[in-house]
Chain A
Amino acid sequence: MRWRDLIFLTVMIGGGLALVRGAVRIPAATTTPQRATSGSAVADSQAAAIRVAVEGLDRAFRQQWAEQGIRPAPPADDLTVMRRLSLALTGAIPSLEEIRRFESRPAGSRLDAWLDDLMADRRTSDFLAERFARAFVGTEDGPFLVFRRRRFASWLSDAILANRPYDAIVRDLVADRGLWTDHPATNFVSVTFNPDTGRPDPERLAARVSRALLGVRIDCAQCHDHPFQPWKQADFRGLAAYFGGAYSGLRGIRDGESAYKPLDRKTKAEAEVAPRVPFRPELVPEAGTPRERLAAWIVDPSNPNLARATANRVWAILLGRPLVDPVDDLPVNVELPPALERLAADFSGHGYDLHRLIRVIAGSEVFRLDSTDPPAGKDPNAAPDDESWAAFPAVRLRPEQVAGALFQAASLPTIGPQSHWFVRLATYTGRNDFVRRYGDTGEDEFHAAGGTIPQRLLLMNGDIVREKTGRGLFSASQRVAELAPDDRAAVEVAYLIVLTRRPTPEESAHFAGRLAGTAGDDRKDRLTDLFWTLVNSTEFSWNH
């Protein structure tokens, strides 16, 4: 029967389109850059307030350097800082198009203007959302049906783009009710769904809250007390008990009677555990469900942990390494670095404004220093101190950043929400494929060690790299071969596209020599070779 075939085909095509639409988000209307409003008085006073915070942060570091007798590295040039900003916020390098626009702006303010652009860019909120999602729900596929990672990440991305206060986001994570589809925050709870008990797992939730939100590892006391750890098993169980009444059903996550009855270590009997926070109990409100009360305690500005943990994490997202390492293990009863205290106080004192936190860190002197070898202190024989932040740290790029950089380096225009949907789909699947081959680091966010042989092989010989640097119709290398007016200009443009900098005189002379006197296919091959070389350099795979 033909009409049935027709219906089948329609459903298939419709489903396919829906999938494509789901995979490649249609840009929201909110992506128009905020620069239009930057002239207004509100934006100006905000910028002035941020400048004050930045100056305070800079003073803290300068004082520390003076005490240690360290002369910090010189400032990095604008393009280097531009590359850092793009990699940290969008997970890709700037396009040639963006570099040209950047350089057309006045030298003194172009970095701030670029930061403004990025903060209003959907690529930024998408990338940041993914980084935060790893801390909130991990990278596991999670339980079938009751966990929707994509929904969760896009909810987070919307919130970050709109600069929703971070405490409101955290409240939703911990206490929201409803279905994981229309209340995406509940995925924070539902990802721990345990099929054996048919409920979310209070202990896994306590571990997440402890690490991702409080920045401490109370879960290390999950099994027993440790002699040198400040946390006791009772602290962990008290925290878990807040989730003892979380259930999941047809109507999503809801609250009920607590069913959290952990076994006593010695007697193996079930123990009743009352909800109890590990410190500052006076901040827990009386009213609300257990989860609401826990959320209120976490986001109370008098409880310093959320702000410290978040400032440390955002610092790590921007500079590649946290102020206190590991990112989720802030020391207790030990003085924290003054910079972290300062950032945390600024963050909770200004309504948990995530954009402001990012702007303060990205505007700081440390973020804009050159990435030289760490300068030595008073004693020139002592090993230079990495923790002084007197130079920008060189950190290996994450696999997603290498993928983002590679795809952008193959294209002259910016790959982003405004690209054609076909480009976005190809980029989305291509990047995922690349990350799979390159090796995802999973939840291990900030411990990138040296590269691996398969990674080098992939970047030297992989099909993706061959396509991206090679003879494709719109490939950047081929367009440079066709359009650059002369050899030196071609070399310069290639450097800008791949490494976001201009070649040194030695490099320029060397590679112009390689191109000299070539034409047609031969010239295209030489440019493919140049792109290959740049993509395989240390500089390409590292943030610096």
Chain B
Amino acid sequence: MLTVSRRWFLGAAGAGWLTPVGELLARQAERSREPARSVILLWLAGGPSQLETFDPHPGSAIAGGTRAIETAAKGVRLAEGFERLADRMGSVSLLRSMVSKEGDHERGTYMMKTGYRPDPSLVHASIGAVCCHELPAVGTDIPRHVSILAGQWPSRGGYLGAEYDAFQVDDPRGKLPDVSSPVDALRERARVQDLEVVERAFAKGRRSIARATLHGETLSRARLMMSSEQLRAFDVSREPAGVVDEYGDTPFGRGCLAARRLIEVGVRCVEVTLSGWDSHVNNHEIHRKLVKQLDPAFAALLRDLERRELLDRTVVLCGGEFGRTPKINPLGGRDHWPTGFSVALAGGRLRGGLALGETDPAGLKDPARPIPAQDVHATIFKALGLDPLKENFAPVTGRPVKLSEGTPIRELLA
């Protein structure tokens, strides 16, 4: 039991190290049933096969020998290899009838990350960018939208502006790029002081232009970030060894662990990418290897969030740009399949243990109860206490854009 004294609280706040405050907020949220405050996106880049992950059809011709396992959720089975996630299925729901019109990697990624089809007149905002735009920013010195192991098309701010783009980092084991000055503090200070001289010369006769560039402010915020203790949230080596092992000591596992640490200091959305699912050849072998990384990381993340009372405040979405064909091609691979693929959704007080939608075990018919990508977005926004129909306005054209044009999935909203 944590006792909170005034001195303890001020000490924590004074250090600027917000983990305990995050915990405090979590407890409060528990009491007042506040909506979720963060999103973690486990992005499976390349398009994972639904049959080897969240929608197995064991014993059928399309399974190609993939078996299924029972899970903590009665009647909901996962493909073999997800033994740890199986234990946590009580808090996870599977959407097995995802449909989209985009069978190309780039366009499919756009569709799933923004909830909109690519449109030449407007770049839409990814889910994390919308979260950062709509939810208040309090006490966070570091970027509130982060992409770990960013793939080819990391989440973008789109029409909301490049300042909502995800901040990209690599394996959290390595050094964080560009956040420490290449010179000592003395030189660094002199450099920044000298900059004033150059800025003064530019602003002469251009006062309003110089102000409108926001250059100085962006620079100060970048420097604030460089000195922020919140940067430690990226550093997973501060976790006990057992915790790192629980996530699986892989780049993706460390990414998931860093995601949890970042959520704790107030980051709104963390995207962690696991690439390599584009299994046109040797589908089963590729999936076996990747599931070995995904299963422990996903399961440990859910367990860890729950243990820290953060799961209700955090929506976790796991999926890729599309699924893969029921038919196995002559090279033992599966090809792109945007009609009837799966994503997993957990946390944020969304109901767990369900499997919605159903695909044809023969792989011929369209799925029953098709769920378009935008419905997943609308559901997540609902869980965050946002109105999906709220409109923002695109710059220049002033075109109104809804947060999502989808319908929230009723079964998931308790």
Partners in one complex: yes
| A373 within 8 Å of B (CB atoms) | yes
Contact A454–B205 (Cβ < 8 Å): no
Contact B210–A453 (Cβ < 8 Å): no
Band of interface residues on B? 35 or more
Q: Could you say which residues of chain B place their CB within 8 Å of the CB of A457?
A: 177-179, 222, 225-226
| B20 within 8 Å of A (CB atoms) | no
* Whole-angstrom distance between the Cβ of B344 and the nearest chain A Cβ: 27
Report if A461-B187 is in contact (Cβ < 8 Å); known contacts: A537-B202, A538-B210. Answer: no
* Whole-angstrom distance between the Cβ of A72 and the nearest chain B Cβ: 13
Contact A451–B396 (Cβ < 8 Å): no
Can you show 20 pairs from A to B with CB atoms below 8 A apart?
A138-B120, A140-B106, A195-B103, A372-B206, A373-B208, A394-B206, A441-B162, A443-B123, A449-B163, A450-B163, A453-B221, A454-B168, A457-B226, A460-B222, A503-B201, A507-B197, A538-B210, A538-B213, A539-B198, A542-B215
* Whole-angstrom distance between the Cβ of B6 and the nearest chain A Cβ: 34
Q: In the complex, what residue of chain B is closest to A327 when comparing beta carbons?
A: B396
Q: Could you say which residues of chain A place their CB within 8 Å of the CB of B178?
A: 454, 457-458, 460-462
Measured between alpha carbons, how far is A288 from B409 in the docked complex, in Å? 53
Apart from A461-B226, A537-B202, 4 more pairs, CB < 8 Å:
A195-B104, A219-B121, A454-B167, A533-B191
Q: Which of A208, A396, A504, A536 contacts B219 (CB 8 A)?
A: A536
Contact A442–B123 (Cβ < 8 Å): yes
* Whole-angstrom distance between the Cβ of A455 and the nearest chain B Cβ: 8
* Whole-angstrom distance between the Cβ of B157 and the nearest chain A Cβ: 9
Q: Could you say which residues of chain B place their CB within 8 Å of the CB of A373?
A: 205-209
B-contact bits for A436-465, CB 8 A (1 contact / 0 none): 010101111001011111111110111000
Q: Could you say which residues of chain B place their CB within 8 Å of the CB of A504?
A: 201
Contact B162–A449 (Cβ < 8 Å): yes
Contact B396–A326 (Cβ < 8 Å): yes
Q: Could you say which residues of chain A place their CB within 8 Å of the CB of B198?
A: 507, 533-534, 537, 539
Contact B179–A450 (Cβ < 8 Å): no
Q: Which of A452, A470, A511 contacts B163 (CB 8 A)?
A: A452
Q: In the complex, what residue of chain A is closest to B190 when comparing beta carbons?
A: A529
Could you say which of B107, B143, B163, B168 has the most chain A C-beta atoms within 10 Å of its C-beta?
B163
Measured between alpha carbons, how far is A442 from B152 in the docked complex, in Å? 13
A-contact bits for B94-111, CB 8 A (1 contact / 0 none): 000000000110110000
Contact B218–A452 (Cβ < 8 Å): yes
| B182 within 8 Å of A (CB atoms) | yes
Contact A141–B106 (Cβ < 8 Å): yes
Q: Could you say which residues of chain A place their CB within 8 Å of the CB of B225?
A: 453, 457
Q: Could you say which residues of chain B place their CB within 8 Å of the CB of A537?
A: 195, 198-199, 202
Interface residues of A in 470-489 (CB under 8 A from B): 470
| B3 within 8 Å of A (CB atoms) | no
Measured between alpha carbons, how far is A533 from B198 in the docked complex, in Å? 8
Contact A394–B106 (Cβ < 8 Å): no
Contact B181–A460 (Cβ < 8 Å): yes
Q: In the complex, what residue of chain B is closest to A196 when comparing beta carbons?
A: B103
* Whole-angstrom distance between the Cβ of A160 and the nearest chain B Cβ: 23
Contact A536–B213 (Cβ < 8 Å): no
Contact A533–B123 (Cβ < 8 Å): no
| A122 within 8 Å of B (CB atoms) | no
| B397 within 8 Å of A (CB atoms) | yes
Q: Which of B194, B201, B205 contacts A514 (CB 8 A)?
A: B194
Contact A439–B162 (Cβ < 8 Å): yes
Q: Which of A396, A447, A470 contacts B396 (CB 8 A)?
A: A447
* Whole-angstrom distance between the Cβ of A382 and the nearest chain B Cβ: 14
